[in-house]
Amino acid sequence: MPEVAERLEAMQHRRSMKSHTPMDGLPFDDRAQYICVFRHPLDAHFSYRKHVHNIPMTRFDTWFPEDDADGITIRRFLDGGAEGFDGDAMPLANILQHYMAASALAERPNVSLFHYADMTRDLAGTFTRVSDLLGISHTETDMEQLIQAATFNNMKGKAERFAPSGGKGFFKSDAEFFHSGTSGKWHGKLTNDELAAYDAIMDEYLSPEDRKWLEYGSEGAA
């Protein structure tokens, strides 16, 4: 922590920090902007499966087996390990906690919720929204360059620069950190019973409007 604090203190520009901690576990300061990003829970789960297999640690091979004919991985995601399996590192309950903690503060002027689906549909609009939140303006040319730099293909093509700890061997492949960026890979991969179990949890904790937004962003809420 002292090393992190020293880095932040040395920054001369506006500082930014990323955390996987829900909003109810973070210090809240009116001087800061909180940008909370979400994705369809099943998309996040299937992306995470790919992500952990790109980390050179064998423990993940048992948590997320490639050949999962028994459906252990999805059950662990849904119940967080209640069936006696090793716990999922990112179970559905954690995603719901993140969303509910953020949405409870969403009326505050410095808390904003963003969705991956909206970013992929309208990256330029996302940049405009973030610029407005931070009070930053750019020339049209600069904005076009920033948007291009943030495209999936550009980041994947320069993975050593944009992947966390890129070029240091943290991942088996830096480029695979940016695997595909697509959504809906869970379609056809889950049984009716698995989908029903997922639906039951989502409907228990979220209103229909909240569920639509968490799964599909503004398009789902429309």
Give the pLDDT confidence of 165-201 residue by residue, as tens digits: 899 999 999 999 999 989 999 999 999 999 999 999 9
Q: What is the pLDDT, as a whole number, of residue 84? A: 45
C-alpha pair distances (Å), 82 with each of 79, 86, 87, 96, 165: 5, 9, 8, 17, 33
pLDDT at 82 over 90: no
Per residue in 1-53, pLDDT (tens digit) is 999 899 999 999 889 899 999 999 999 999 999 999 999 999 999 999 889 88
**Contact 9/16 with Cβ under 8 angstroms?**
no
Residues 144-164 have a mean pLDDT of 95
- Cα of first residue to Cα of last residue in the chain, in angstroms, is 42
Instruction: Identify whether 21 is part of a domain.
Output: no
Question: How many structural domains is the chain composed of?
Answer: 1
Instruction: Identify whether 10 is part of a domain.
Output: no
In whole angstroms, what is the distance from residue 101 CA to residue 58 CA? 33
Token pair 């620069």 in the structure block, residue: 161
pLDDT at 135 over 50: yes
The share of the chain scoring above pLDDT 70, in percent, equals 95
Structure tokens that stand for 60 in this block: 């993940």
The CATH code of the domain that includes 143 is 3.40.50.300
Instruction: Identify whether 20 is part of a domain.
Output: no
Host domain of residue 118: 31-220
